[in-house]
Amino acid sequence: MQTHFIAVSQNAKTGPIPVSIIERASCWPGCTLYQNGCYAETGALGLHWRRVSHGSTGGSWAEFCAKVAALRPGRLWRYARAGDLPGYGAQIDPELLEELVAANFGKSVIASPTSPSSAALPSPSRTGG
C-alpha cells in the first residue's frame, strides 16, 4: 500500500496539520463519488494522488505508520485526504488497519472512510486514546 505523509499541509481547508494520501486502489468502487466527481481526482491533489498511487512519491505503509506513531500525543492530523482505509476496493486489510490504529494511539485524527465494511472495524478515529 503506497502512502504519502505530509508533516505540514499547505492546504487552506485543513490548515497546517499533518495529512496523508493513500493510494487510489484503496477506494471503494461503490462510493457515490468514485469516478464521478471525487475532489481528489482533479487539480493539484489529483496530480499528487496519481504520483503516490504509481509509487513515484511517498513510501510504504510501515513508513507511514512510523511517522504517525512519531506524532506528539494529542496531535490533530488528517487521514486520507485522498484514498480510503488500507486495502483494495471494498476489501479492508485488517492487519494494516490494526497497524494504523496502534500508530494513532493517543493522537486525534480526522478520518472519513467510505467503504461499507468500515463500520464493522475499529477505526483510528474511534480508538485514538
Domain ranges of the chain: 3-120
Handedness of CA 84, 86, 91, 26 (dihedral sign): positive
DSSP-derived secondary structure for 73-116: TT-EEEEEEES-SSEETTEE-HHHHHHHHHHHTT-EEE-----T
Tell which residue, 120, 118, 114, 121, has the closest CA to residue 30.
Answer: 114
Handedness of CA 56, 62, 65, 69 (dihedral sign): negative
Prediction pTM value: 0.86
Which pLDDT tens digits describe the chain residue by residue (129 residues)?
A: 999 999 999 988 889 999 999 999 999 888 888 888 888 998 889 999 999 999 999 999 999 999 999 999 999 999 999 999 999 988 899 999 999 999 999 999 999 887 776 555 555 554 444
Answer yes or no: are the C-beta atoms of 127 and 104 closer than 8 Å: yes
**CA–CA gap between residue 72 and residue 56 (Å, rounded):** 28
